[in-house]
Structure 1
Amino acid sequence: MAKYQKYAEYKDSGVEWLGEIPSHWEFFSLKRAVNKCTNGFWGAEPNGDNDLCVLRVADFNRNNFEINLDKLTYRSILSKEAENRLLKKGDLLIEKSGGGEKTLVGCVVQFNEDFPAITSNFVAKMTPSMSMNSRYITYAFSHLYAGRVNFSAIKQTTGIQNLDSEAYLMEKFCFPSKNEQTQIANFLDHETAKIDTLIAKQQKLIELLKEKRQAVISHAVTKGLNPNVKMKASGVEWLGDVPEHWATTKLKYIAEQIVDAEHKTAPYFDDGQYLVCRTTNVRDGELRFEGSKYTNHQSYMAWTQRAIPYAGDILFTREAPAGEACVYDGKTPLCLGQRMVLFKLDKEIILPEFLLYSIYSGLADNFIKQLSQGSTVTHFNMADIQNIPLFELPIAEQEEIVLYIISKLNKFKKLVDNANTAIQLMQERRTALISAAVTGKIDVRHWKNPNKNNNQEKMEHST
């Protein structure tokens, strides 16, 4: 923030987390900045007569503090129920129930649309007072939320966080004049938009790298590495030609055992030492432990009667989502949860890593899509899993392909990691810029929008 000036004089706010504020700014509770907080209403199933847009927490865009318009919900709302709840441009929406393990309840976004709408019962509307700039208050609330100032007003009940909005609005904050609020809001709109553009470019880069990663895997396990090898028709339209010396086979012919982990009884979770591997634990070719569930030795022995997973086995998800897989390294003792499948391979015929990359090449997905007329793959039947098409080729060639893919993927991972680091730094800068502007740590009163001429600025200032 070194390139921005500070105010000439400051005064102590008396609040430790806020520190000093510009001497001419006022300091009072958030409750004075809004007229009132009105709870929302969910209504009934839409019937075509009283249908009205009901905005949910799921509609919050937590990046730009506005509303996402892509999946709006409509409910049947009677006129008397909507009367005091209808939103106007500039109203704020505050999340009153929700949150999660990593996010607090209490996010605030701005409603800036022309269509009629109300909030759901988990969201309340707040109308800014006449002396307040709506966008400035939105940024102020984003600063408070990022600093977890709302934490003391949260009540936890059975996993759901509820915000005591009355208690939260009693928190004090600093406010300049409305004209200065407008200037700060315009400055932040412009500067955060620039940061968001840079973030979007990095996100696009990540998507392109993922597409390139997929292309490398698909080509290597279906075409091989030798560009001069003689090819033959695979007999499958979507697969095209394959190396002539490769034999087409199916999973059931090269797997010693394919075990469906569907249990007659639901898994029993406790503090035991055995991981219950669920579909949430298998993502992008890796075994992940976020949100893991564990069980005891008795349950482990009961659930592994058909097969105990050993190093080199493949863990495969039937659904939720379908088609995720990883090679089990044997380090963490585990049994399989619902919708999981275990492949025990004949390693003299196929390497586990080669099979893994074959799965992620699209062989499994495209095969199932062909069976279901191209629809999105949401579930794999056991019969379909057994018939997933694969290739049988020399082990030495499989090893060469696996090493090539690993080398390429390591390079892609480094590039993706760099892009994610850049995104994180830009997001941190965005948060810091908002914080500095709305708390008066930087003075932007003389900032001019480079995209507007003087006449436009005068007209905006006069309104």
Structure 2
Amino acid sequence: MLNVYPTYKDSGIEWLGQIPTHWELTRISSVLTEVKDLNTSLRFSHPSQFKFGDIILKPDVNIEDVSSLSKCIIFRKDDILINGLNLNYDFVTQRIARANYTGIITSAYIAVRVRNNLSSKYVTYLFKALDSRKVFNGLGTGIRLTLTYKELKKYYILLPPQEEQRQIVAYLDYKSNKIDERICQRERELQTLSELKQAEIAAVVTRGLDPNVPMKESGIEWLGKIPAHWEVRKIKNCLQERSEKGYPNEPILCATQSRGVIPQDMYDNRVVVVNKDFDKLKLVKCGDFVISLRSFQGGIEYAYYQGIISAAYTILTPKDKRNSEYFKHLFKSHDFIQLLQTCVTGIREGQNINYAMLAKHFIPIPPIEEQQKIVLYIKNRLYVIDEYLSKLKAEINYLQEYKQRLISDVVTGKVDVRGVEIPNEE
């Protein structure tokens, strides 16, 4: 159980409240210097980027783009970088990072360097705490709420004594590493279980539930053998396109690869919001499929709701409505997703699924009664697996929130770690 400090004083900052009596509160401009060195001599040719609270080398960069590289700032090891862009949007990638090497990054970011024997690690932990509390959001200016050093330097920073800064860093390094180890362990379990789940679904939608049933060659390269009594049909003979428009009062839908086709207001991530020409959007009915504009983890998404969606999407409806639930699982199986990758146009992340190409391919069709049994088996099996997956995700979220709360409490003086012994695990 951690202790509190013996005496506190009012910080004068509403969100911060009381701070330890012996801590100082000073403007950022007095202890941090903005890094302004531009890469004009092009000594560095490979820029860096933010990724999950770290600074890493940026892949796929054209080093011949002299104009772009010359506008980058040169940061050095232990410099602190802040992504102050678009503060009105939440970044899951985090906005604060401490550099572990010397490199360059776009001058759109803020880079600061500590002085006066201030601990760079302590300031990083403090800024991460401020970021988690959305303190920086209130400092942004302009339509997009962008933070600049001009605004940042006016803010105040907490300064414990140097020895106390070192203890805080040592304590948080130790605790953060322990929490991160637990998170990584749970994420590995999550990944393994998710892969097993997908493998089991793929097995039953392409091989059936009876392991002893006679098999035959399907004649489909991506599929291999299937139960002898199953059929194979071209996709265009199983699905037909729907292009109905003129339903402006239906809810706006979005196609997601994690949750299928759902109403826009149910999706947490950023989407382009349609606010005009509703009568030109395509109608989607429950049980239809929407071909996503881009292919990553799939691309043919099942519609759980009726509504309207961009006319740029291809809408498919099963000719036999009884096939819809079976197709939902087949289209998310690993082998079928591999097939989708052969039916795309464009390059890299912009690859779009070409339905004209896909429609010519064959898929397995079990008897309808067997489809229903497969769907019921998957539903019951998934319930058990998803319950455990949900618990793993909840634990990961709890650990991440606990880590944020712990860092915030320590760097703002809500708890006293001066007397805590840090185990030496070298």
TM-score interval (norm. to shorter) = 0.7 to 0.9
Cα shift readout 1:162-204 (whole Å, capped 9, x = no counterpart): 1142333322232111121111111111111111111111212
Which residue of 2 is the match for residue 398 of structure 1? 371
Say whether residues 1:137 and 2:120 are aligned partners: no
- Identify the residue that residue 459 of structure 1 maps to in structure 2: none
In the alignment, residue 316 of structure 2 is paired with which amino acid? Answer: L
- 1:105 to 1:250, Cα distance in 2 relative to 1, 3 A: closer
Identify the residue that residue 133 of structure 2 maps to in structure 1: 147
Supply the distance in 1 between the matched residues of 2:103 and 2:35 (Cα, whole angstroms): 13
- TM-score of the pair, normalised by structure 2: 0.85
Shift of 1:359: 0.9
Give the distance between the partners of 2:288 and 2:94, measured in 1 at CA. 45
SS at match of 1:428: helix
Equivalent of 1:101 in 89, 93, 97: 89
TM-score by length of 1: 0.79
* Separation of aligned partners in 2, 1:81 and 1:317: 38
The alpha-carbon deviation at position 400 of structure 1 amounts to 0.5
Please give the alpha-carbon distance, in whole angstroms, between the structure 2 residues aligned to 1:379 and 1:82.
Answer: 34
Q: Of residues 19, 22, 30 in structure 2, which corresponds to 1:21? A: 19
Q: Offset of 1:14 from its aligned partner? A: 2.6
Give the aligned partner of residue 343 of structure 1.
Answer: 317
Alignment of 1:232 onto 2:223: no
Are the equivalent residues in 2 in contact too, given 1:104–1:151 (CA < 8 A)?
Answer: no
- Post-superposition Cα deviations, 1:314-356, rounded to whole Å, max 9, x if no partner, equal 2232535584334435x53324431333234223xx5201011
1:250 aligns with 234
Match of 1:221 in 2: 205
**Pairing 1:61–2:52 present:** yes
Question: 1:104 and 1:227 mapped to 2: Cα distance?
Answer: 44
In structure 1, the residue matched to 2:289 is 314
Distance 1:50 1:260 in 2: 55
Q: How has the CA–CA distance of structure 1 residues 208 and 16 changed in structure 2, closer, same or farther, with 3 Å as cutoff? A: same
Using the TM superposition, give the Cα deviation of residue 277 of structure 1 relative to its aligned residue in structure 2, in angstroms.
Answer: 4.4
Matches within 5 A, 1:143-222: 143-157=129-143, 160-222=144-206
CA contact (8 A) 2:75 2:111 kept: yes
CA RMSD of aligned residues (A): 3.4
Cα 1:52–1:315 change in 2 (3 A) is: closer
- 1-side partners of 2:187 and 2:227: how far apart? 36
- Partner residue of 1:119 out of 105, 115, 132: 105
- Which is greater in Rg? 1
- The residue type paired with residue 386 of structure 2 is K
| 1:452 CA displacement | 5.0
Structure 1 81/70 Cα, relative in aligned 2: closer, same or farther at 3 Å?
Answer: closer
Paired amino acid for 1:109: A
What amino acid is the match of 1:135?
Answer: K
Partner SS, residue 47 of structure 2: strand
2:78 equivalent in structure 1: 90
CA contact (8 A) 1:284 1:324 kept: no
| In 2, Cα distance between equivalents of 1:442 and 1:188 | 12
Q: Percent identity?
A: 25
Matches within 5 A, 1:248-397: 248-255=232-239, 257-259=240-242, 273-275=249-251, 277=253, 280-281=255-256, 283-289=258-264, 290=267, 291=271, 293-294=273-274, 299-300=278-279, 302-304=280-282, 308-321=283-296, 323-329=298-304, 331-347=305-321, 350-369=322-341, 378-397=351-370
Mark the CA change 1:207 to 1:258 in structure 2 (over 3 Å): closer, same or farther.
same
Deviates more, 1:176-185 or 1:381-390: 381-390
Question: Structure 1 residues 173, 366: closer, same or farther in 2, change over 3 A?
Answer: closer
| Alignment coverage as a number of residue pairs | 416
Measure how far apart 1:95 and its partner are.
2.0
Partners of 1:40 and 1:119 within 8 A in 2: no
1:38 counterpart letter in structure 2:
V
Amino acid at match of 1:361: S
Given that residues 110 and 148 in structure 2 are in contact (C-alpha distance below 8 angstroms), is that contact kept between their aligned partners in structure 1? no
Give the corresponding residue for 2:398.
425
Q: Quick check: 2:96–2:127 contact (8 Å CA) kept in 1? A: yes
Amino acid aligned to 2:46: C
Q: Distance in 1 between matches of 2:331 and 2:377?
A: 17
